[in-house]
Structure 1
């Protein structure tokens, strides 16, 4: 594993740690730093960049929080700071928080979900393995039993079903983006569920679960376009069921 000794250059003093982060990102994008490469030690890197060790330390904390590097303590082969593949958890966390904090209109989030989940459903129909189909069946089976009496549980199972579809497609970026948006909507969806009176709620689990089963059947049959169409209809139908007072979408 290389230490990427070439390419470092002094950075300006203003916003020093951010500029250290930018320089490391530049080297990753240029291919100079790759997954598994070990960065120079804190003292050496500070000297190469002509910045303080505190600036390097803060930059490493920032990159580690983003999942770009991992830091090993002590001595030996696991010690030091190593470039890591960006974990899915880090990406989904950042996207989830961005969606939650940006206060996007619900209609915008729904449209983003439709586009992404049409793609992931089609990919799932093309590539789903027996194990992936089993991962769809687990939340489906639970939805059909006790979940109907528990809105919190039903919402969690609904989230799990959509995540399983995203992961079944095999496209990691599509899956992570879908997971982030679906999880960002978890609490708003739960609030909508809790606002429904008992009479309105009685029909919701049955309708949504029937739609889930149809999507699962299309995926299992390898029907890519049908799976995409069904999940599109399902997301829009769910929105109408949970927020019946919203104005209808324009054609």
Structure 2
């Protein structure tokens, strides 16, 4: 494959950006088909009359946007139609931000709240808002709370919220949410123990939310989910502060 019509960018300091933009446009308009491999970095460098370093930097930009997939020793493959991979790449980028500034978690939780509040609206608009998946997730929560299994309860908690989002019927939102929740879980793993309520209290909160959705009480259900996520955000901020203080003392 040859990148036909490629021209050397005029701005030397923006060479990699110009190459990335040109290739992105070709991918988006279909002239570089999904599933095809791009030419080698050296070939692209010749086509654009730039250095291979500029091409590598351009490839990094395209990979971050989820437009290409790169493996060592292989030419980059165009993967624009893989929504899950695209969002997964974005999640990796956000995870890198967390490594330098955990305060980004607050913004992440804000996004999570926005998604789940909108999901509640979509669910209660239906004649039967409780899907079999939501029902099954709630039953698992009840079982683990009754058994006093904290570790399993945490997993079931996540599964319940994912079931809500997936039941809204928006596949892109579901994939995006799954990546967000994975990031939140990553942060929990590397921070100190988060203050927790008893399993009975935690289960009761979810039980109330479940009933509000079932009864199609949109205002109360949205208020309940927002308060639940705000509390979770506050707990995680405490955990981050403890972890940062520990690092300072060491």
Query: Any stretches of 5+ residues in structure 1 without a counterpart?
Result: 247-251
Task: Kindly state the Cα deviation for residue 70 of structure 1 after the two structures are TM-superposed.
Answer: 2.6
Task: Kindly state the Cα deviation for residue 236 of structure 1 after the two structures are TM-superposed.
Answer: 0.5
Pairing 1:169–2:174 present: no
In structure 2, C-alpha distance between the alignment counterparts of 1:128 and 1:71, rounded to whole Å: 46
Q: TM-score, normalised by structure 1?
A: 0.65
Structure 1 contact 159–183 (Cα < 8 Å) conserved:
no
Alignment of 1:79-98 (within 5 A): 80-84=75-79, 85=81, 86=83, 87=85, 88-95=87-94, 98=97
Partner of 1:195: 195
In structure 2, C-alpha distance between the alignment counterparts of 1:188 and 1:24, rounded to whole Å: 35
In structure 2, C-alpha distance between the alignment counterparts of 1:188 and 1:120, rounded to whole Å: 24
Partner of 1:230: 221
Partner of 1:204: 201
**Given the alignment, which residue of 143, 146, 154 partners 1:145?**
143
Distance 1:192 1:135, change over 3 A: farther
In structure 2, C-alpha distance between the alignment counterparts of 1:33 and 1:180, rounded to whole Å: 28
Structure 1 contact 128–169 (Cα < 8 Å) conserved:
no
Task: Kindly state the Cα deviation for residue 58 of structure 1 after the two structures are TM-superposed.
Answer: 4.8
Alignment of 1:207-222 (within 5 A): 207-214=204-211, 217=214
Distance 1:35 1:227, change over 3 A: farther
Query: Any stretches of 5+ residues in structure 2 without a counterpart?
Result: 238-250
Distance 1:4 1:205, change over 3 A: farther
Task: Kindly state the Cα deviation for residue 36 of structure 1 after the two structures are TM-superposed.
Answer: 3.5
Distance 1:111 1:70, change over 3 A: closer
Deviations 1:152-171, CA, capped at 9 Å, x for gaps:
33222212221222222232
Distance 1:109 1:40, change over 3 A: closer
Distance 1:4 1:137, change over 3 A: farther
Partner of 2:103: 103
Partner of 1:155: 154
Structure 1 contact 4–33 (Cα < 8 Å) conserved:
no
Task: Kindly state the Cα deviation for residue 227 of structure 1 after the two structures are TM-superposed.
Answer: 5.3
Root mean square deviation of aligned Cα: 4.3
Between stretches 165-174 and 96-105, larger displacement belongs to 96-105
Distance 1:93 1:6, change over 3 A: same
Pairing 1:178–2:177 present: yes
Task: Kindly state the Cα deviation for residue 68 of structure 1 after the two structures are TM-superposed.
Answer: 1.8
Structure 1 contact 120–166 (Cα < 8 Å) conserved:
yes
Task: Kindly state the Cα deviation for residue 230 of structure 1 after the two structures are TM-superposed.
Answer: 1.2
Aligned residues: 228
2:13 is paired with a residue of what secondary structure? coil
